[in-house]
Amino acid sequence: MFIATLIASQRLTAGDISAAADRLAGAGCAPGEAQWIDEGEAADIPFASDPSAAREALEGAFPATDVVVQPAENREKKLLIADMDSTMITVECIDELADYAGIKAQIAEVTERAMRGELDFAEALDARVALLKGLDEGAIDRCLAERVRLSPGAETLVKTMRARGATAVLVSGGFTRFAGPVGGMLGFNRVVANELLVDGGALTGEVAKPIVDSSTKETTLRETAAQLGLDFAETLAVGDGANDLAMIKLAGLGAAYRAKPIVAAAAGARIDHAQLTALLHAQGIARKDWVSI
């Protein structure tokens, strides 16, 4: 058995749900009776077969509505592996840090290309960090205070999953000086990120090796699941860039959050409209059971 979850960033109507069920029937998926998770916000439609056809029939069919199609078994996840920049927070920290050096446009262009999968991530990171050589270390704390903002729904997602017994790991190709505080604010169990090297109160233009990259993210999911005795079906991974693809493909529910086209096309689920709390609705968790922030 499978479940198609409709999650609206504006309002979901009974008519939308009926139309979705008709689409599933037309695709040969044999839908069952729909149920609200939260009326007007999210609803489930169980169906019997062909999840690929179901996803094709539903995605993009309803304005400002995200669709998650998945097996009914192991729907609520026990491990969350999340990207940070442009996922758990609204910005790319290296781009904002570059603004304090007066070179944001130059670095942001490289970041965008790396996140689209056009450049090798590690090489692109080394090249960008090299351009920050000599920047006063104090810019890091200023950037954290002035620029870094949590993505809507991020804290509720992490803390609700933690409260229900899940483990949460923040794995970032960004920097520990940002990921540590962000992970603490959001309630992650553990943080994995790159270390910016500093000497004499200024950035050296280097990052400690080995670099946290796509393979690190995948390995973190694999190793953490093994440590917890979990099947991959019990895991959730979310990110937006090409360096998140490996973990997204491996996870039981791999979600692309407002992601680059290469990631959105490959992910098992796309969240393009709603907040990150959509990933709670995707697990069948109603708003009444969310941790209040």
- How many angstroms separate the CA atoms of 85 and 183, rounded? 12
Residue 292, pLDDT above cutoff 90: no
Residue 4, pLDDT above cutoff 90: yes
pLDDT tens per residue, range 167-226? 999 999 999 999 999 999 999 999 999 999 999 999 999 999 999 999 999 999 999 999
- How many angstroms separate the CA atoms of 58 and 224, rounded? 33
Rounded to an integer, the average pLDDT of 91-97 is: 94
Q: Are 71 and 1 a contacting pair, CB within 8 Å?
A: yes
Q: Is 18 left (phi over 0), alpha (psi -120 to 50) or beta?
A: alpha
pLDDT of residue 10: 83
Instruction: Note if the pTM is more than 0.85.
Output: yes
Q: Does residue 83 carry a catalytic annotation? A: yes
What one-letter code names the amino acid at 151?
A: S
Domains of the chain: 1-73 (3.30.70.260)
**Lowest mean pLDDT segment, chosen from 57-66, 83-92, 113-122, 156-165:** 113-122
Residue 119, pLDDT above cutoff 90: no
Q: How many other C-beta atoms are found inside a 10 Å radius of the C-beta of residue 15?
A: 9
- How many angstroms separate the CA atoms of 184 and 211, rounded? 22
Rounded to an integer, the average pLDDT of 265-293 is: 95
pLDDT tens per residue, range 235-248? 999 999 999 999 99
Catalytic residue among 38, 85, 95, 244: 85
Q: Does residue 289 carry a catalytic annotation? A: no
pLDDT tens per residue, range 57-78? 999 899 999 999 999 999 999 9
Q: Are 132 and 203 a contacting pair, CB within 8 Å?
A: yes
Place of tokens 């962000």: 182
30-36: long-range pairs with CB below 8 Å, 24+: 31/4
Residue 103, pLDDT above cutoff 90: yes
Catalytic residue among 38, 66, 83, 244: 83
pLDDT tens per residue, range 123-156? 989 999 999 999 999 999 999 999 999 999 999 9
